[in-house]
Chain A
Amino acid sequence: DSGVTQTPKHLITATGQRVTLRCSPRSGDLSVYWYQQSLDQGLQFLIQYYNGEERAKGNILERFSAQQFPDLHSELNLSSLELGDSALYFCASSVGGGSQETQYFGPGTRLLVL
């Protein structure tokens, strides 16, 4: 158990809908990262937050957004969902977000868009 929690574990929804994925980092970790794992794209970095502020952006679509709250949990919002958004979404956390730090991954949220 990495100490990173993600809810829900599974999510099934329809095209055009909006969903919110939630992540709670390890105790004491200030930085949260979101990754998407799909069959065709592999593991891709989406976005990073540090202590409530956006720090880095990767291949995140404009239909997707995220935020980190004062209690340091983070939410990833996916809107206007398409079939191709079906994937496993991971949240990871690290203490300060420095590039020398190890990122610890949560169990993931499996999203299926029908």
Chain B
Amino acid sequence: AQTVTQSQPEMSVQEAETVTLSCTYDTSESDYYLFWYKQPPSRQMILVIRQEAYKQQNATENRFSVNFQKAAKSFSLKISDSQLGDAAMYFCAYRVLNSGYALNFGKGTSLLVTP
């Protein structure tokens, strides 16, 4: 079974600071995709960033970047210059290439941003 583990149920960061959210996954596959989704209080699921497992370069989207360690099966999300609007639940998700189409989600990390 493929599992995604987010070991931090809650995290807190001060505005303008940097925070890293952890995610590990378990798979025997070599080709897959990893995603971070954000769920603010509105409950909308918003894609933050995605990473293809075959790419060694870590993905970056503005203030959001990932640290992808394939051998360690680790996929952490770094948020730089945190803003109040970043407060949300963050979900790590995994999807195997050419083998099923569903996203497998972790349990989520609740991020609190303090002024």
Contacts and interface: CB of A to CB of B under 8 A. Distances in A.
Interface string B51-75: 0100000000000000000000000
A25 interface: no
Interface string A32-68: 0101000000111100100000011010000000000
29 contacts: A2-B44, A33-B101, A33-B102, A35-B103, A42-B108, A44-B105, A45-B102, A45-B103, A48-B101, A48-B102, A56-B101, A58-B102, A92-B45, A98-B101, A99-B33, A99-B96, A99-B97, A99-B99, A99-B101, A100-B33, A100-B52, A102-B47, A103-B103, A104-B47, A105-B37, A105-B44, A105-B45, A108-B43, A108-B44
- Ranked nearest first, the 9 interchain pairs of A and B with the lowest CB-CB distance are A45-B102, A105-B45, A43-B105, A56-B101, A99-B97, A42-B107, A48-B101, A107-B44, A58-B102
Most buried by A among B105, B107, B108: B105
B100 A99 contact: yes
Nearest to A42: B107
Interface residues of B, number: 26
A45 B46 CA distance: 17
Contacts of B107: 42
Interface in A72-108: 88, 90, 92, 97-100, 102-105, 107-108
B109 to A, nearest CB: 12
Contacts of B50: 102
Nearest to B102: A45
